[in-house]
Structure 1
């Protein structure tokens, strides 16, 4: 958030006034694509500086991956506080219009005059929804819960998560039994459910665009020697984050998926696919800190648990070094790249094989659970901006996008933590405002 950087929205205006010789300026609208922390920051700051902002998000809620976190590092505070501040700023600001379940189909034009086509998918739930939950109580169909990375299920009509914004239900038509069921329709006393909703397309005219679509976790099934997808008790770091959350699939209890037992021994495997020319050649920078943070989750629940972290080297730079120093003596740090993870078929225990680089010993560590620290992949590696944008070799948007008036923000440009993403989004908002000044 801008208030964390020391630059307020009023400061934006002063900078831009100076930029234009002290004259009060009018702006064309700005489009922000992506409703995670970067998109939210860019939207609220640009709007509070005086611009009309359109915010487009493909999911049914705003908040992005921050909404899926249990705690921030290094303060170990919950993310809902920061998100709620941004949501309140959106609700109180008539200059922001946001569209969920929406995607960008095309971008035409140039800086100062873009025409953007947006397609909105049907929610099948209208503005009358009060989030009372009666529809869910009677719904007989279930679906895999992607918010919890498939570790539990929701009903076909559901609220994305406990703090979802907007606080409205959404219907998964692929899981729904259709009109022949209709139980949710009959029980809703507000007439909020419309099973015949259709997709809609509309156009927006804007002066500039901030592309803040974030990142995806690297697909751990591609790292076959770690057994993710075959061994039940091999999880990824994002999955453990949800498991540790009170509104997660286990109510905050860190347990083995195979039998629900409390975890007493756990191994964090760093650089799972990262810094590897066969997978991700780069370091995501935040994975070490995320694993150290998650080690505190385990130790809080089971103070006598044995926590091991296998690493190439630990990245905990600047202000994060104090956090590293506080945690390192509470866990076993082993310098070595894990070569293979196998499973005891009878007990479902996992055997982690690694060469300890400091002693030369070949270790075979038996643990209850393994957590793979997978890296951050930019969303643009798989879904490109529908415009002439320049990317680097890993699919991140280049700092100079090659298209005046379109600016990347946050982890779609490079791997970033939450605070750094917000700062980068602040800079992108300022550039977008400069692009939209009506001369």
Structure 2
């Protein structure tokens, strides 16, 4: 059984991405007890799936490694992975959270030797690579996963493969009898840092993501360019595995559209500008179809550099639809709104810059927590000891998400300090 000690001077952080880790670290390093609940098998969130950050084009692994080391060294942080908050009740300074912990089937004896993965044959879609590749039934989620511990896919339980994995483990780390647990936590403040998910491109029927293999999303393209990703860093057409030399990026794919996401996600323009640098490095040409490019403040210089790249073309247009041309080439149809010329242009690969939507399950929130029309939690001062950090509060880039998380840590600390003061 999982043994977790919590009091009304404990801070609960829901979500272990960059915002959740930042919140937890800031609070823990100020001396507060923190419980971090993460639904995945590892912490780090979506930044672990990025190849590079904009605008500096640096790698997320550096900052991730630093935060992971800080987390491991801090005794004030308890991490519960593969866990989700099912209910939350109470009031500021006195909340009760019910947390469901799913079985990992691997205990803390695991040394990540990989013997279990080598022993099994079963394969499953790899969520870390957005389904572009497979992972074994016994697997390490990614090379920098924290905790650095293997996972047994639940679909393997009861099969011969599961027994093979158990028999192959040299340290008796595989426990196929692990069961789901539920723990109840008493906490004084709660920070939701549940992050975001990419908008479901299947819903944008005119763009044919569900029908055309060579129409992919921006998050899939990001994994494709990572040397540790599903294609070894090469930009390959899903239909035939050929290297791509002509790429179209469609901005606001499902965003700023009353039929899908009404809001602007703020990161999509910069993400596509960044991704044109991947294409240029691969000697490919890029065409960006855009409504307007939102690159403000420190991003303006980056935008100008991309504009100066002779391999990148900008077309001001909201693409109307995509049909299939020759050789499985997607054909983009629409009107250039600067010259009002109709076009029907084939490209080898189309990348949909899909927007952000909040990952939070609002049904787990107390009824008096403010949530806006887009599904984000409002930090409007009426939520008592409940706060929203990063993309649980709005569509934010990494820099702004970290700033938001630091602010939430300070607010949560004030709440538990008041609890301590009232009891002192």
For the pair 1:315 / 2:280, whether they are aligned, the reply is no
Name the counterpart of 2:357: 377
Name the counterpart of 2:70: 89
Which runs of 5 or more structure 1 residues have no equivalent in the other structure? 1-25
What is the Cα deviation at residue 174 of structure 1? 1.6
- SS where residue 428 of structure 1 aligns? helix
User: For 1:298-317, what per-residue CA distance to the aligned partner results, in whole angstroms no more than 9, with x for missing partners?
Assistant: 11111xx2210000000000
Name the counterpart of 1:426: 406
For the pair 1:251 / 2:232, whether they are aligned, the reply is yes
- SS where residue 191 of structure 1 aligns? coil
- Once the two structures are superposed, the pairs formed by residues 41-120 of structure 1 within 5 Å of their partners are 41-120=22-101
Measured in 1, the distance between the counterparts of 2:10 and 2:154 equals 34
Measured in 1, the distance between the counterparts of 2:122 and 2:251 equals 38
Measured in 2, the distance between the counterparts of 1:402 and 1:226 equals 41
Cα distance, 1:177–1:349 mapped onto 2, change above 3 Å: farther
What is the Cα deviation at residue 63 of structure 1? 0.4
Measured in 1, the distance between the counterparts of 2:327 and 2:230 equals 23
How many residue pairs align between the two structures? 410
Measured in 2, the distance between the counterparts of 1:236 and 1:259 equals 18
Name the counterpart of 2:3: none
User: For 1:221-265, what per-residue CA distance to the aligned partner results, in whole angstroms no more than 9, with x for missing partners?
Assistant: 000010002100100000001111111100111110111111110
For the pair 1:416 / 2:396, whether they are aligned, the reply is yes
Name the counterpart of 1:10: none
What is the Cα deviation at residue 297 of structure 1? 0.5
For the pair 1:358 / 2:332, whether they are aligned, the reply is no
Which runs of 5 or more structure 2 residues have no equivalent in the other structure? 1-6
Cα distance, 1:111–1:204 mapped onto 2, change above 3 Å: same
- SS where residue 154 of structure 2 aligns? coil
Name the counterpart of 2:308: 329
Instruction: Check the 8 A contact 2:93/2:188 in 1, yes or no.
Output: yes
Once the two structures are overlaid, the 10-residue window that deviates more, 363-372 or 384-393, is 384-393
What is the Cα deviation at residue 28 of structure 1? 1.2
User: For 1:349-369, what per-residue CA distance to the aligned partner results, in whole angstroms no more than 9, with x for missing partners?
Assistant: 111112101111111111100
Once the two structures are overlaid, the 10-residue window that deviates more, 260-269 or 105-114, is 105-114
Q: Which of 152, 174, 184 matches 1:193?
A: 174
What is the Cα deviation at residue 27 of structure 1? 8.6
What is the Cα deviation at residue 410 of structure 1? 0.5
User: For 1:271-295, what per-residue CA distance to the aligned partner results, in whole angstroms no more than 9, with x for missing partners?
Assistant: 1011110111111111000000001
Cα distance, 1:181–1:120 mapped onto 2, change above 3 Å: closer
- Once the two structures are superposed, the pairs formed by residues 401-412 of structure 1 within 5 Å of their partners are 402-412=382-392
Measured in 1, the distance between the counterparts of 2:82 and 2:381 equals 26
User: For 1:388-411, what per-residue CA distance to the aligned partner results, in whole angstroms no more than 9, with x for missing partners?
Assistant: 211101111112263200000101
What is the Cα deviation at residue 384 of structure 1? 3.6
Name the counterpart of 1:276: 257
Name the counterpart of 1:227: 208
What is the Cα deviation at residue 181 of structure 1? 5.1
- Once the two structures are superposed, the pairs formed by residues 123-162 of structure 1 within 5 Å of their partners are 123-162=104-143
Instruction: Check the 8 A contact 2:8/2:95 in 1, yes or no.
Output: no
What is the Cα deviation at residue 426 of structure 1? 0.3
Instruction: Check the 8 A contact 2:28/2:76 in 1, yes or no.
Output: yes
What is the Cα deviation at residue 179 of structure 1? 5.0
What's the RMSD between the two structures over aligned residues? 1.4
Instruction: Check the 8 A contact 1:141/1:177 in 2, yes or no.
Output: no
Measured in 2, the distance between the counterparts of 1:104 and 1:55 equals 11
Cα distance, 1:357–1:175 mapped onto 2, change above 3 Å: farther
Instruction: Check the 8 A contact 2:38/2:81 in 1, yes or no.
Output: yes
Measured in 2, the distance between the counterparts of 1:383 and 1:351 equals 39
Measured in 2, the distance between the counterparts of 1:57 and 1:31 equals 11
For the pair 1:204 / 2:196, whether they are aligned, the reply is no
User: For 1:337-378, what per-residue CA distance to the aligned partner results, in whole angstroms no more than 9, with x for missing partners?
Assistant: 00011112x511111112101111111111100000110001
Measured in 2, the distance between the counterparts of 1:95 and 1:282 equals 38
For the pair 1:292 / 2:273, whether they are aligned, the reply is yes
Measured in 2, the distance between the counterparts of 1:310 and 1:248 equals 26
Name the counterpart of 1:387: 366
Instruction: Check the 8 A contact 1:156/1:176 in 2, yes or no.
Output: no
Name the counterpart of 1:20: none
Measured in 2, the distance between the counterparts of 1:160 and 1:383 equals 27
The TM-score with structure 1 as length reference comes to 0.91
Measured in 1, the distance between the counterparts of 2:333 and 2:138 equals 44
The TM-score with structure 2 as length reference comes to 0.94
Measured in 2, the distance between the counterparts of 1:267 and 1:115 equals 49
